[in-house]
Amino acid sequence: MEMYLLTAGEKIKCLRCTAHSCRSGLQCGRPALNISKTQKCQFHGGRGNSAPKTEAGRRRSALAHTKSGNYTKAAKLEQSKNSARLARLEDAMHVLGLTSATKTRGRKSTHYVALTCIDDVQQMIVTDSLS
């Protein structure tokens, strides 16, 4: 592992980044940043910006990076419940024979409970009308 790198026609001697490639095993050819505590270049974590440590700092960071309210826990929960309800309606259509189309593929919501018989459809109607 080479400690120093000669640049500008071998006129400037600087520390070399100590990161290695996973594929080839070769050492990074870029100069390390002066501010780096771990002797790394800017691409391998030399700037070392760490996340806020205090609860107040985390709150400020979250507020600064929130662009919309679409991804809050409450919004994700609401979207998950709506997705489960839509999947149950699709199941009800298949159980009642209203459609012969293929069911929607993909992962179902965590709130999804499959409807397999007419009793399940009736129970879904009763619970939906109560809420």
In tens digits, the chain (131 residues) has pLDDT values of 778 887 788 888 888 888 888 889 899 888 888 887 788 888 887 776 677 889 998 899 888 887 787 888 899 999 999 999 999 999 999 999 999 999 999 999 999 999 999 999 999 999 888 87
Model pLDDT, residue 49? 67
Give, to the nearest 10 degrees, the angle between helix 73-95 and helix 118-130: 140
Model pLDDT, residue 64? 86
What residue spans define the domains of the chain?
1-65, 73-130
What's the CA angle centered on 38, arms 35 and 39, to 5 degrees?
Answer: 70
Q: Measuring CA to CA, which residue among 117, 124, 123, 118 is closest to residue 89?
A: 124
Q: Measuring CA to CA, which residue among 103, 96, 102 is closest to residue 117?
A: 96
Evaluate whether 32 touches 39 at the Cβ level (below 8 Å): yes
What's the CA angle centered on 120, arms 115 and 126, to 5 degrees?
Answer: 125
Q: Write down the pTM of the prediction.
A: 0.51
Phi, psi of 120 (to 5 degrees): -65, -40
Model pLDDT, residue 102? 93
